[in-house]
Chains A and B, each alone.
Chain A
């Protein structure tokens, strides 16, 4: 088995652009679930709106990067408001079902051929990152990092991705330690009590949904930017559940949790995948073929999610006292 290669790939996941994208989505979800108590199972929709918003603004409207980012953020914020107005008054479990339903409905709408002039239908959109990569100050070439080897584009997207994570983390830190964040936590604990103290619970929930959704939509943009392709099937429920696993692994009501949770999770996934592939190649797992190893990856996501919630709901960094699953 090629241990060096496996370890290299595992290490690569720690700083991967996809990892950073998931971490951003998980930070947004921490705002929703960890700090406000909203059971949002439609996080994929916010990321998808960021990605589609950016790609459509670039390809259809011909806007530059800043305009496209703004459009992506506006789309996800608008979705947060449209989704939030009817659903944020609902019970937590209804909210879960409605958000997952809304995300799926949105994905169907992106995939349908009816609007494929704008959305690209089932094929999605591609080649929208020219302006983004034009800001890249790194000269063309290959840059070795340990045993890994990156192109200037790969380095650029990683720098941008992890800078976004850092900015989002600082913003969330400031927010959650402010009196505003205290109100969110109050709502998380008991929204009727918060109302009885004169807090406009609905407005705070909408704000939380918009902020968390915006952070996730940045994650969505980042996600599609490395390959410059945005396909509707990316934004299925598996995407959302992956984010939940990352969040719960790190700790829902923390800022560091989603970041380290994301890095740990994707490194672990890559590591197990590498070992499984190695074992398959050595013929030790005759009942599996290489294609199926990729499927086991998702199986592990489900298993980790289950075991975490059962045995360590506060995650790696969560305070045992501050784990919060209401009801």
Chain B
């Protein structure tokens, strides 16, 4: 089936029409265990890409490697024209590639508003010497506060503006973390299991927010176990198993791919993955 994302037929490691991120030969070993071994991977620009795979497939490790939180044994990758191999995580973030974490990292003892303000990357007041001279950063602070308020409103957190982040519910913290990531207008947002632990009542609005990101021109890459979500919002799906990319393509096709079904648990081989929540499946074993 033809698609507008890949060059030619979708296959593991296939070329994309307009990739924002290209990774080559990325490997990471823990002791004798190879956690990640990706020969070639491209993430399409302006699309929502899902990274799925069973537990221990190396998804989070891949996230850590791409964002500079972990160092690969081999490999290099280019993001938006910048070679990122060996670049520390904070510089990766400054280049416009912002990630969130599987276990939410809301800064508990900062207010929600301060959490948001911290997401900004251009605040002159964050430099030591300038911090003494209020006029240097006062106007910028005002600007980012306005932006933060706007985002908080969009994520329905405006009522919690002055609360400590510790006072938020798990789902609200996920929202806060995502909203905070948007403060710097990133080019690529990487979400590690945005749905995990989120109250089902909130999932719909989270999905809308992610779709909204795409509409505003931001590329999204996310790791998720919830196949519902994957099927509904992603434009492209990459499947990892045992550290390798085993399949990729548009969601509808990938879900039918025997390699993907193989990669997941045998017990559910006969059912349509789109209807199975893998978390439930795991608990069944």
Contact = CB atoms under 8 A, between A and B. Distances in A.
A and B touch in their complex, CB below 8 angstroms: yes
B119 interface: yes
A197 B94 CA distance: 8
A197 B131 contact: no
B174 to A, nearest CB: 13
B180 A197 contact: yes
B110 A186 contact: yes
B128 interface: yes
B69 interface: yes
A312 interface: no
B137 to A, nearest CB: 6
Given A195-B89, A196-B101, A181 B166 contact: no
Interface stretch (A41-49, A134-142, A148-156, A198-206): A198-206
Interface stretch (A99-107, A172-180, A234-242): A172-180
A105 to B, nearest CB: 29
Given A194-B118, A196-B67, A196-B98, A179 B105 contact: no
B90 A199 contact: yes
B99 interface: yes
A321 B119 contact: no
Given A193-B101, A321-B166, A179 B108 contact: no
B244 interface: no
B131 A195 contact: no
B110 to A, nearest CB: 6
A324 B100 CA distance: 23
A192 interface: yes
B93 A195 contact: yes
Contacts of B107: 185-186, 189-190, 193-194
B137 A178 contact: yes
Contact of A182 (B90, B94, B117, B164): B117
What bracket does the count of chain A residues touching chain B fall in? 20 to 34
B126 interface: yes
B131 A174 contact: yes
Contact of A189 (B69, B108, B130): B108
A192 B89 CA distance: 9
B128 A180 contact: yes
Given A178-B137, A180-B126, A321-B164, A197 B109 contact: no
Nearest to B190: A196
Nearest to A181: B131
A179 B89 contact: no
Contacts of A87: none
B30 interface: no
A186 B118 contact: yes
A93 interface: no
B131 A178 contact: yes
A183 B88 CA distance: 18
A4 B128 CA distance: 49
B118 A183 contact: yes
A183 B124 CA distance: 12
B90 A174 contact: no
B184 A197 contact: yes
Nearest to B137: A179
A254 to B, nearest CB: 13
Contacts of B131: 174-175, 178-181
Contacts of A196: 67, 69, 89, 93, 98-101, 105, 181
B66 to A, nearest CB: 12
A131 interface: no
Nearest to B98: A196
Interface string B77-118: 000000000001111011000111100011111100010011
A186 B93 CA distance: 16
A207 interface: yes
A207 B127 CA distance: 10
Contacts of B89: 192, 195-196
Contacts of B105: 190, 192-193, 196
Interface of A: 174-175, 178-183, 185-186, 188-190, 192-201, 207, 321-322, 324
Interface of B: 67, 69, 88-91, 93-94, 98-101, 105-110, 114, 117-119, 121, 123, 125-128, 130-132, 134, 137, 141, 164, 166, 177, 180-181, 184
15 contacts: A174-B131, A178-B131, A179-B123, A179-B137, A180-B126, A180-B128, A185-B114, A188-B109, A189-B109, A193-B177, A194-B107, A195-B69, A196-B105, A197-B180, A198-B94
Q: Which 8 A-B pairs have the closest CB atoms?
A: A179-B125, A178-B131, A198-B93, A180-B131, A193-B105, A189-B107, A198-B94, A195-B89
